Amino acid sequence: MPSTRPAASVPSPLSLALCALALALTLIVPAKAGAARGIEIGFAEPRFNSLDAGVRDFWHDRAKKAGGEWTRIGVGWRGIAATEPANPTQPGSYAFAGPDAAIRDAAARGQKILITVSRAPDWAEGPGRPANVEPGTWKPDPDALGQFAQALARRYDGTWPDPQNPGKALPRVSHFEAWNENNLGNFLSPQREGGKTVADDHYKLMLNAFYEGAHASQPNANVVAGSLSPIGTDQGGDGRERTGPLAFLREMFCLKGKRKPKAANCGAGFVVPKFDTFSHHPINADRKPLAKAKGDDAGVAEMGLVVDMLRTAEKAGHTAGAGKHPVWNTEFWWNSNPPKKGRKFPNLKKHAQYIQETLYLNWKDGVEMAMLYQVGDDSSLTFQTGVYFENGKPKPAQKAFRFPLVGDRKSKKKVLVWGRAPANGKVKIQAKKKGKKGKKGFKTVKKKKVKAGDVFKTKTKLKGKGKLRAKLGKDKSLVYKVGKK
């Protein structure tokens, strides 16, 4: 995973350093009785996979302090299987020491773990990889990937002996993400052949093999599909092929129509994709959360459209299984200024605001889990997107992620107040209004009993510009400024 890449291409930095994990449960925990539908949160952080245990501990601890419940761990197939194994479905045929350490650390902190697999070894790539194509991306062998998924799910089924701790088993992990940003040529190539998009069809072969392999070892495994980059247009001029995520989804799910998706006539050769959960990466880079993407790109504002496309495919029988698949956001981020320099990077206040607004907007679109890249800045990388500075000092974004609060004006007089509780207790939702003798101060407008992770929401009267905040014991959210209608 390279440490840098052109910022304009906006592919997921995580996949360039895939990292993290989480204690294996089954799927997202359903909303508690009496609580609003929830959204869970977590982090992707390259240093979760550091060879230095002290570095891993430093950032794992800060992730938990920032409210992280999920950890995304990258497992590079290429690095784990340098040579073709004689017994490819057996965990002992692969070099799992690195992921083992990352998974132990996350599990010890009570984290739920998502393992993301990408990068094929040379022996599992198709023949004739062009010199300008990144190793590990060229026509990965679906059958070999399925066998690796079977070995991976077997190793982390909760019973496999831990080689570092005799008499104990490795932690259980049941959430597996099949590849990363499949619509970018620097993760899956070729994207097109003879002018026709082919990456979607090849990805479905990979996905289905991965699904069968993981479920062979863990029948209740959660296989996550999609994980698409938001940018498909060639903005960087780096020569890499890429496909707009909406175009990729139309082909993958056999749909037509850009903004009002409908089922298309698929034909006899259509491969139905198999997965348990669907993911997208609504990364806006240097744009505000509600800024609309161009063409077939899909950022935060288009997350609802991505969900609509999935639901259309489900109704048409263009996905395997009955009912609705959960939707996750397994990567989003903004660089902050500082440490980045330049007008296009949001200052620390805006950086925090964009993060909490994305959590709210994702929640509105039905997203059940969102993961931020990174925990902390890292000067050795291009991206400086953490909720902490490199020295571990928190940015305002740390509180925005842990205790988000957003005011969504619904009319000239009313505002919907939305937030997520960082702990158990009674949350006080407060608005700043004029008091006696013209003095202004925050006044409590609603109290709600909450548990950690609960989403709370209410409507309050607030004319013109105003300010909102939430208090939970001694803890306070950031102040959220509400504009006029």
Report whether CATH 3.30.1490 matches the domain 414-482. Answer: no
| pLDDT value, residue 2 | 31
Give percent above pLDDT 70 in the chain. 90
Does residue 94 have a pLDDT over 50?
Answer: yes
**349-374 in b/e burial notation, b at 16+ Cβ within 10 A?**
bbbbbbbbbbbbbbbebbbbbbbbbb
| pLDDT value, residue 31 | 40
Does residue 96 have a pLDDT over 80?
Answer: yes
| pLDDT value, residue 195 | 86
* Bond prior to 374 in cis (omega within 30° of 0): yes
Tell me the average pLDDT across 198-209. 98
DSSP state, 437?
G
| pLDDT value, residue 301 | 98
Q: What is the DSSP string of 248-283?
A: HHHHHHTEE-SSS-EE----TTPPPP--SEEEE---
Does residue 19 have a pLDDT over 60?
Answer: no
Q: What is the pTM of this model?
A: 0.91
Per residue in 265-312, pLDDT (tens digit) is 999 999 999 999 999 999 998 899 999 999 999 999 999 999 999 999
3-state SS assignment for residue 153: helix
| pLDDT value, residue 10 | 40
Residues 6+ apart with CB under 8 A from 237: 8
| pLDDT value, residue 406 | 98
Say how far apart CA 195 and CA 310 lie, in whole Å. Answer: 26
| pLDDT value, residue 53 | 97
Q: What is the DSSP string of 41-58?
A: EEEE-GGGG-S-HHHHHH
Residues 6+ apart with CB under 8 A from 441: 432, 433, 435
Say how far apart CA 444 and CA 432 lie, in whole Å. Answer: 9
Which amino acid appears at position 2 of this protein?
A: P
| pLDDT value, residue 293 | 94
Does residue 426 have a pLDDT over 70?
Answer: yes
Residue pair 77/152 in contact (Cβ under 8 Å)? The answer is no
113, β-bridge pairs: 71
| pLDDT value, residue 286 | 87
Q: What is the DSSP string of 154-179?
A: HHTBS-SB-TTSTT-BPPB--EEEE-
In 3D, which of 330, 5, 51, 2 has the Cα closest to residue 179?
Answer: 330
pLDDT band at 436; cut points 50, 70, 90: low
Q: What is the mean pLDDT of the chain?
A: 91
Tell me the average pLDDT across 243-261. 95
Domain 7-402, CATH homologous superfamily name and number: Glycosidases (3.20.20.80)
| pLDDT value, residue 322 | 84
| pLDDT value, residue 7 | 34
212, β-bridge pairs: none
Does residue 17 have a pLDDT over 60?
Answer: no
Give percent above pLDDT 90 in the chain. 85
| pLDDT value, residue 437 | 59
Q: What is the dihedral of CA 353, 356, 360, 363, to 10 degrees?
A: 150
Burial class (CB in 10 A: 0-12, 13-18, 19+), 239: exposed
Q: Which of 6-20, 29-43, 141-155, 254-268 has the highest mean pLDDT?
A: 141-155
Per-domain residue ranges for the chain? 7-402, 414-482
Say how far apart CA 222 and CA 277 lie, in whole Å. Answer: 7
Residues 6+ apart with CB under 8 A from 478: 352, 353, 356, 396, 399, 400, 403, 405, 469
pLDDT band at 32; cut points 50, 70, 90: very low
Tell me the average pLDDT across 188-194. 94
Strands 192-193 and 196-197: antiparallel
pLDDT band at 231; cut points 50, 70, 90: very high
Which amino acid appears at position 244 of this protein?
A: G
pLDDT band at 136; cut points 50, 70, 90: very high
| pLDDT value, residue 438 | 57
3-state SS assignment for residue 229: coil
**CA atoms within 13 A of residue 334's CA, in its CB half-sphere:** 28
Does residue 13 have a pLDDT over 80?
Answer: no
User: Phi first, then psi: what are they for 290, rounded to 5°?
Assistant: -90, 5
Say how far apart CA 383 and CA 7 lie, in whole Å. Answer: 8
Say how far apart CA 14 and CA 111 lie, in whole Å. Answer: 18
Q: Measured in whole angstroms, how far is the alpha carbon of residue 293 from the centre of its chain? A: 19
Residue pair 150/216 in contact (Cβ under 8 Å)? The answer is yes
Question: Largest alpha-carbon pair distance within the chain?
Answer: 82
Only one residue has tokens 């599992």, namely 124
Only one residue has tokens 């392999």, namely 213
Q: When comparing pLDDT for 259 and 426, which is higher?
A: 426
Tell me the average pLDDT across 329-352. 96
pLDDT band at 27; cut points 50, 70, 90: very low
| pLDDT value, residue 238 | 53
